[in-house]
Amino acid sequence: MAERAYADQALPIDCGQTISQPYVVAYMTEQLGVKPNHRVLEVGTGSGYQAAVLSRLAREVVSVERYRTLAEAARERLTRLGYDNIEVFVGDGLAGVPERAPYDRIMVTAAAELVPVTLVEELTDGGVMILPLGPHAGTQRLIKVTKSEQGLQREDLIGVRFVPLLPGQAREL
């Protein structure tokens, strides 16, 4: 896939997953509004690319991946490349990583059909979550959710197409 590495398109990775096209990675990162003192949760580690980008903007990145194969490969890759402010966990992305919460920002890199309440609970007041929202079969909308004392504010951003956010940790792979 080296010849397609700089193309602005999603590419397949192991476990039937994809790495998002560079435009979407950049757009989601920009919309998240990460600051140097932020702790960020990424749901869906994949190859580790998005975590690497976030780690250059945030104090700390916690990433959770349902596929052990992807998590271990990303952890090894990120360590080898010198990314020392990223922790990769194997687990249920819909549950987040509550033992490391709260987070200032959450980026979900798989499509949810509803805003995951458990992830909202892991956000700080004033926290922001970006996620693709909509049916698993078809296109979704990228949504920006901001948490405040008054509740959740939702902003509809752009149309996207992501792999589905599924409950639980994968049994194989």
Residues that are catalytic: 20
CA atoms within 13 A on the CB side of 98: 8
CA atoms within 13 A on the CB side of 81: 17
Residues ≥6 apart with Cβ < 8 Å to 1: 11, 12
Contact 76, 17 (CB under 8 A): no
The number of beta carbons lying within 10 Å of the beta carbon of residue 89 is: 19
- Provide DSSP, 69-116: HHHHHHHHHHHHTT--SEEEEES-GGG--GGG--EEEEEE-SBBSS--
